[in-house]
């Protein structure tokens, strides 16, 4: 018989169409409370959705004193539940140095790269991670501090392509209650107490302050805002899909594997500014480069009023040539930093 918490997550999975029946699911399990709760809930539901589960523990190499206990916790639970289990080590410091990233950002990058590699090795269809509603509230505030727009403030989504978050609609305290009811053990990640990380300061200091001094319902308000913006995002995405091929003409990659693109300036200028920004952001991602605010603003100006013959030099070797009726995006010397113009004025 299902626990009420398991039944609730089952309903959320069905309502959100989070899993494909009969699939293979990689489950990110750190040994912490949320991920141990996720693993046990999915194990309880696997027969209903005909799922094959693989528990994946990623060793970031940042807390060597805690790693053995975490891995033992994950492995023991997987064995008891009859689930395959795998461990992979990643070089977070190397990723941070190579990409000039913060340790927190590098750990996330390394973790998801590892998940992608494990998905290939184990032939899994989807990845499940254990973000909760509390994580969502923290994420919305974090993105607000970074100056995010509507898409960013919509927060995390329950499903994005192959990634699912079955616990996104429940509070952490509900997960803890479930673990206690089921007598499920878990580990505490000491890095979650490190106030050097902004996310931890938001969770440990800012949100409790806002609840105590300003509004005890601040978390619910943040979640409501994210949900409303998420619905707006769905509409904007559908509108963008309708206009994409009218504005963007992508050419197959050249001999070096580098794509080119023509953006119709007349058609682009007819779009609402919100769709213009969104289209440019998606175009930069499609071309395999970064989509920073400054770059998007520069492209907006070029498409609207740019002088014919001028150029934009963007990241990773991307050049944008301004023509009378279109912008031409290309990587004339490949995807790598370089200086110089495509042509003389």
Candidate CATH numbers 3.40.50.620, 3.50.50.60, 3.30.930.10, 2.40.128.130; the one for domain 4-222 = 3.40.50.620
> How remote is the C-alpha of 272 from its chain's centroid?
26
**CA pair distance 336, 14, nearest whole angstrom:** 44
**CA pair distance 269, 266, nearest whole angstrom:** 5
State residue 344's pLDDT score.
Answer: 44
- Out of 110-114, 254-258, 290-294, give the one with best mean pLDDT: 110-114
State residue 339's pLDDT score.
Answer: 57
pLDDT at 345 over 50: no
**CA pair distance 27, 163, nearest whole angstrom:** 10
In the chain, % of residues over pLDDT 70: 95
pLDDT tens digits along 262-286: 999 999 999 999 899 999 999 998 8
Residue with tokens 């007598």: 183
Asked whether 19 and 162 are in contact (CB, 8 A), the reply is no
**Which whole-number Å values give the CA distances from 237 to 231, 234, 241, 288, in the listed order?**
10, 5, 6, 20
State residue 256's pLDDT score.
Answer: 61
Mean pLDDT lowest among 214-218, 242-246, 260-264, 285-289? 285-289
The conformational region for residue 115 under phi > 0 = left, psi -120 to 50 = alpha, else beta, is: alpha
**What are the residue ranges of CATH 3.30.465.60 in the chain?**
252-330
Asked whether 141 and 153 are in contact (CB, 8 A), the reply is no
Does this model's pTM top 0.95? My answer is no
Mean pLDDT lowest among 28-32, 55-59, 256-260, 262-266? 256-260
State residue 335's pLDDT score.
Answer: 63
pLDDT tens digits along 76-89: 999 999 999 999 99
pLDDT-based confidence at residue 290 (cuts at 50, 70, 90): confident
pLDDT at 299 over 90: yes
**What are the residue ranges of CATH 3.40.50.620 in the chain?**
4-222
State residue 343's pLDDT score.
Answer: 53
Asked whether 297 and 281 are in contact (CB, 8 A), the reply is no
Fold of 252-330: 3.30.465
């Amino acid at each position: 018989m299902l626990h009420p918490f398991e039944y609730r997550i089952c309903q959320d999975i069905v309502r959100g169409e989070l899993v494909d029946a009969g699939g293979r699911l990689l489950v990110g399990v750190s040994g912490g409370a949320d991920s141990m709760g996720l693993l046990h809930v999915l194990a309880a539901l696997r027969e209903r959705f005909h799922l094959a589960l693989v528990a994946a523990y990623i060793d970031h190499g940042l807390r060597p004193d805690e790693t053995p206990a975490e891995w033992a916790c994950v492995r023991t639970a997987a064995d008891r539940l009859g689930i395959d289990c795998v461990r992979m080590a990643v070089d977070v410091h190397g990723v941070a140095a190579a990409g000039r990233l913060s340790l927190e950002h590098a750990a996330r990058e390394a973790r998801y790269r590892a998940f992608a590699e494990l998905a290939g090795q184990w032939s899994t269809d989807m990845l499940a991670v254990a973000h909760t509603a509390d994580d969502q509230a923290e994420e919305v505030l974090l993105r607000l501090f970074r100056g995010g727009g509507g898409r960013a403030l919509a927060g995390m989504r329950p499903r994005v392509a192959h990634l699912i978050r079955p616990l996104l609609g429940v509070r952490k305290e509900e997960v803890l209650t479930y673990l206690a009811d089921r007598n499920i053990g878990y580990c505490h990640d000491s890095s979650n107490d490190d106030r050097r990380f902004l996310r931890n300061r938001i969770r440990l200091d800012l949100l409790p302050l806002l609840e105590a001094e300003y509004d005890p319902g601040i978390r619910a308000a943040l979640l409501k805002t994210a949900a409303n913006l998420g619905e707006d995002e769905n509409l904007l995405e559908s509108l963008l899909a309708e206009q994409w091929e009218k504005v963007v003409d992508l050419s197959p990659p050249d001999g070096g594997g580098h794509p080119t693109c023509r953006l119709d300036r007349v058609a682009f200028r007819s779009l609402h500014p919100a769709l213009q920004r969104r289209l440019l952001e998606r175009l930069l991602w499609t071309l395999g480069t970064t989509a920073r605010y400054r770059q998007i603003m520069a492209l907006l100006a070029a498409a609207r009023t740019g002088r014919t013959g001028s150029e934009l030099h963007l990241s990773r070797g991307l050049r944008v040539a301004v023509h009378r009726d279109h912008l031409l995006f290309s990587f004339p010397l490949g995807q790598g930093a370089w200086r110089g113009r495509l042509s003389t004025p």
